[in-house]
Amino acid sequence: MKNDHKQNGVDRRTVLMSMGAGVTALAMPNFVYAQASDKVLRFGLSTFPPSVKPHDNTGQAANTVKLMMLRGLTGYDADGKLSGELAESWEMVDPQTYVFQLRDNAVFHNGNPVMAKDVVFSLNKITAEGSSAFLKSDLSSIASVTALADKTVEIKLSSPSAVLLDLLANFNANIIAEGSTDEEFVGAGPFKMKSQERGVFIELERFDDFYEAGKPMVAGVKFIAYGDENLRYAALEAGDVDLIEYLPWQNFDAVDASSTLKMSSAVGPFMFLLFNVTNPDSPLANPKVRQAIGYAVKRQDVVDAAFAGRGEPLLGFPNPPGSPFDLSDPSREWSYDPEKAKALLAEAGYPNGFDCTLLATSTYGMHQDTASVVAAYLQMIGINAKLDLPDWGSRVTAGKEGKYDIAVHGTAGYYNDPDSVYTLLHSDNPSYLQSFGFKSENIDGLLERGRQETDVKKRKAIYEELATAYFEEVPQVPLNWRQQAYAMANNVQGFNAYPGFLTFASPYVVDDTSVE
């Protein structure tokens, strides 16, 4: 049975839940929206990417650049719907076997065709023993990847996966040419590297042999790094760039009122606190202390101070906007209750509080402002948190190495399903996105069960349990959802922010973006 995503209205969940027979998902037809131009899209980034290694995650700026040069088997179309990228179709032969047919016209930047052997090489590189790839744990259910023919790939799973196709659409599941290394790689994205000045800009040029006819619609993309958010917005106002990520929240109203600028926004990313729990003598190794911190912070003040009111408090499990399940429950939420926070500290043996460090970053004002509000509220219950505000690259390194007591962070999952927090919580995939040293067999097991279960009712029950475990074991303390926006000049057409957790995948839309 074959289903065209657009014509027959079959979404990814229908595809994944149709377990009785093979289901084929065809990519969208190639529509040419306009003649490709000779104009370059100037894109203001929030920081210069620490690296653009194909399978590493070093932040949104890096992921945006990578997505221009690299693509995976699947991706998202202009409407944020799952679609084919290097794979034009796929068939679910049985719940643990997928067969992907690669596009006949997909070629790498060196002119060589994208072949099944390249897919085998890339996915095996991600899942190899000792791999540091961001998706190593997420894709650990891949039992084998086999080239059935030059353009046909079979993926066998050790267990069913409700989200395999979304995982393969991730920034970090890129297919690179066989023999590529992290430092010297060849991709098949819509743009290829032209030049760069470390710390300042990266310039890409259109790849004329990109597999989607008429795309990309600009001659290139020049990514310019503005570590200061005010300078980034000023560059947009002055016409030095055409599009910026992370529109500063204090400028939302100005863009709304502007006759020359516009924005596209989504609620989906969220802010939260992480903890270093490796030292058993540290107060933060005690879940009661982490619980206390959950009750100590008045979240609306974070929304107001760091995000100019553009967001809302997040009191419990970060179930993404657009999730198929309602997991809200006041019994597992952190209301603002400083007296309860003090009582929990006393129960844990710290009636007078303690001293600690609070890591954030000077690169993003939202992180710094969030940290300032959190520190003020922690002070009220006796926790003296000294701020540590390095640049973003150093912040990532400190997170990876556990050089903090408490850390502020903000991110989103990568698709609108509660499984999307897997990477943020599962202990087999430690990263700067997780509390350093935190491990829970219970949470790991629930994450694995939820991913493997394809029955909707059973999945919801599993995630209800996970939301409870999240509240009781406190792998992180959620703070707030934030509205996040891209801002652009009026002559930029075709770019829009994807909804919910998909917002970080919005750069897929650059394929469809033009500068008039």
pLDDT of residue 23: 37
Residue among 414, 246, 409, 424 at smallest CA distance from 320: 414
Provide mean pLDDT across the span 398-421: 95
Q: Give the mean pLDDT of the chain.
A: 92
Tokens of 13: 């969940």
Provide mean pLDDT across the span 211-239: 96
Spatial contact of 97 and 130, defined as CB atoms under 8 Å apart: no
Higher pLDDT, 29 or 457: 457
pLDDT of residue 35: 52
Spatial contact of 263 and 488, defined as CB atoms under 8 Å apart: yes
SS3 of residue 290 by DSSP? helix
pLDDT of residue 461: 98
Provide mean pLDDT across the span 415-424: 93
pLDDT of residue 227: 85
Q: Residue 29 — pLDDT band, cuts 50, 70, 90? A: very low
The residue whose two tokens read 């300042």 is 200
pLDDT of residue 58: 87
Q: Is the model's pLDDT at 87 over the cut of 50? A: yes
Question: Does domain 269-482 bear CATH number 1.10.560.10?
Answer: no
Tokens of 353: 């509080």
* Dist CA 417 CA 162 (whole Å): 10
* Dist CA 419 CA 13 (whole Å): 13
Cα–Cα distances (Å) from 35 to 19, 75, 105, 241, in that order, read 42, 23, 20, 22
Question: Does domain 2-189 bear CATH number 3.90.76.10?
Answer: yes
Chain centroid, CA 121 distance in Å = 24
Chain centroid, CA 172 distance in Å = 10
Q: What b/e string do you get for 254-269 counting C-beta neighbours within 10 Å, with b at 16 or more?
A: ebeebeebbbbbbbbb
SS3 of residue 475 by DSSP? coil
* Dist CA 62 CA 70 (whole Å): 12
> Where in the chain are the domains?
2-189, 269-482
Phi-psi region of 351 (alpha: psi -120 to 50; beta: other; left: phi over 0): alpha
Range with the poorest average pLDDT among 314-318, 345-349, 411-415, 417-421:
411-415
Q: Is the model's pLDDT at 25 over the cut of 80? A: no
Provide mean pLDDT across the span 136-154: 96
